[in-house]
Amino acid sequence: MSAQDNNSMTPVPALSVLAYFGASPKFQRVKPTSNLVRPCAQQLRSYWERIGKPGVDLTAELESRLAALHQVPEVVAANSGFWMLALLIEAARSPGRCEVIMPSLTYRRMADIVSWLGLVPHFCDIDPQTLANSTATVADCMNSQTALVIGVHPVGGHCDIEGLQELCRYSGVPLIFDSVEAVAELHQGRVIGGFGCAELFSLGASKLINGFEGGYVTTADAALASDLRCRVRGQGPGRTLTAPLPALHAAMALAGLDELEAQLQRNGERFERYALGLKSLSGLRLVTPDPSYRPSYKNIVVEVTEAWPLSRDITVELLNAENILARAYYHPPLTHKPIAYPHRVGLLPHTDWAATRFISMPCGHQVSLTDIDGIIETLQRIQELSYHINQSVIIGKTL
């Protein structure tokens, strides 16, 4: 052994097992956080071969299947959750008022949509327990300009549906829910989809029901549904667009719906596998939904607590280097980046707190139980090497 090998300046050899420090990644193929469900090809073909035949309207068929799933009288589909949300906000809001209350820790385009409609996003805080906007945080933002409240179900939980309904009824403000994260779940024994004026869902490839792209609204309000149908065809008042759901997308979503139960089962198995693995890892807490929700486990989120020796961000970077595409949960909150249009925001202490603590873990159709074991092994290794990692990252940053 040469004198140089003993030099205290040589990098810590143990770190070279991690891809971030030069090893080859743990996984050859990336492990995504998106659901990316692939339905049975034969089933998909059996739907799409009917496209164009007389009397066949797959989009209408999908709408009635979704109405049955959500136990609501009306479903209106459009070409994306994004445009469906734009049409719904425009249709549901109180005329003559301009503010839309929404959380900052949410879907990254929500405020852009509101601004595009000529309205003003008013950002509210979240409840640290549920990670959702709560009755108290929404009430804080209510004023004579409040045109609409958007309750957003976070990953692994529900917002306070009853509390928000009561607040909005009392204040005379319409309430809609973004329920993209709560498809097929139950709330106090009732299927999500029939609360508020209407609820929004997405059929994007990363969602529970994959239509490649697409979105829909569930509602019990027949007048709102027929207004939305006009708007989807480009015939509505106000800022219009034409956004029908193409039949091929409906075919994909129908094929996915046929296998929904099996998918929920597999998602549950993935969640249990994480639960088992994380038991041996102090410092990472699995966000565990209330079992009475019949959770879909469409996404799986862990909290990086004080007991974990590394920051959330460096943990995500280390995982990403291994082709484990974990992501910071709803990062950044909408109010943590410059906003170029009129908006309102006060202090959001719980949003700021949550912004540094949560990780969305790989899950869904492309992630096997063995992959999850590998992800847990990697986290164990990262934990064991945390002292050296912190040293090296600190030195790397100061150089």
Ligand X SMILES: *Cc1c(COP(=O)(O)O)cnc(C)c1O
Q: In the complex, what is the shortest distance from the CB of residue 236 to ligand X, in angstroms, rounded to a whole number? A: 19
User: Distance between CA atoms of 71 and 75, rounded to whole angstroms?
Assistant: 10
User: Distance between CA atoms of 196 and 97, rounded to whole angstroms?
Assistant: 19
The interaxial angle of helices 247-258 and 41-48, nearest 10 deg, is 140
Contact positions with ligand X (CB under 6 A) in 184-203: 202
Q: Is the Cβ of residue 125 or residue 178 nearer to ligand X in the bound state?
A: 178
Q: Could you tell me how many residues of this chain bind ligand X (CB under 6 A)? A: 10
Contact positions with ligand X (CB under 6 A) in 327-366: none
Q: Is the Cβ of residue 121 or residue 215 nearer to ligand X in the bound state?
A: 215
Report whether 148 contacts 176 (CB < 8 A).
yes
Contact positions with ligand X (CB under 6 A) in 90-109: 107
Among 81, 151, 256, 364, binds ligand X (CB under 6 A): 81
Q: Is the Cβ of residue 318 or residue 326 nearer to ligand X in the bound state?
A: 326
User: Distance between CA atoms of 396 and 391, rounded to whole angstroms?
Assistant: 8
Which residue, chain included where needed, has tokens 């040293």? Answer: 391
Identify which range of 24-32, 78-86, 307-315, 364-372 contacts ligand X by CB under 6 A.
Answer: 78-86
Asked if 211 touches ligand X (CB under 6 A), the answer is no
Q: In the complex, what is the shortest distance from the CB of residue 107 to ligand X, in angstroms, rounded to a whole number? A: 4
Which residue's CB atom is positioned nearest to ligand X? 81
With b for 16 or more beta-carbon neighbours within 10 A and e for fewer, the 51-84 pattern comes to: eeeeeeebbebbbebbbebbebebbbbbbbbbbb
Contact positions with ligand X (CB under 6 A) in 156-185: 178, 180-181
Single-letter amino acid, residue 275: A
Q: In the complex, what is the shortest distance from the CB of residue 119 to ligand X, in angstroms, rounded to a whole number? A: 17
For 110, the token pair is 């929500």
CB neighbours of residue 326 within 10 Å? 26
Q: Is the Cβ of residue 58 or residue 159 nearer to ligand X in the bound state?
A: 159
Q: In the complex, what is the shortest distance from the CB of residue 203 to ligand X, in angstroms, rounded to a whole number? A: 6
Q: How far is CA 70 from CA 59, 113, 185, in A?
A: 16, 25, 9
Q: In the complex, what is the shortest distance from the CB of residue 357 to ligand X, in angstroms, rounded to a whole number? A: 19
Binding interface with ligand X (CB under 6 A): 80-82, 107, 178, 180-181, 202, 204, 215
